[in-house]
Amino acid sequence: MRRLKLILWAVVLILALIIILQNLESTSVHVLFMPIELPLAALLSITLGVGFVLGLLANTFWRMRYWRSQASKVKQEQSPNH
């Protein structure tokens, strides 16, 4: 299993390197009414990073919500008035 993970990470890194090398030309992006010029690979990397962070935050939010609901169920089961 560990070897499979290593192989998958290597494939992902190789694909990322290929995508970066194919997208080195500069592009203009407007962020809050300010034009920014940067390589397309950098824009793709930033977008990927922002999406990854938002995914982690959403996952953390849903897990906390689940844990709180489970804790309240346990608390209700343990209460003598139930």
Q: Are 21 and 39 in contact (CB under 8 A)?
A: no
Q: Which residue has the tokens 């489970």?
A: 70
Q: What is the pLDDT of residues 18-27, one digit of tens each?
A: 988 898 899 9
Q: What is the pLDDT of residues 10-43, one digit of tens each?
A: 998 899 889 888 988 999 999 888 999 999 989 9
Domain chopping of the chain, boundaries: 2-78
- Using CB atoms within 10 Å of the CB of residue 39, give its burial: 0 to 12 exposed, 13 to 18 middle, 19+ buried: middle
Two tokens at 62?
Answer: 């849903």
Can you give the pTM of this predicted structure? 0.62
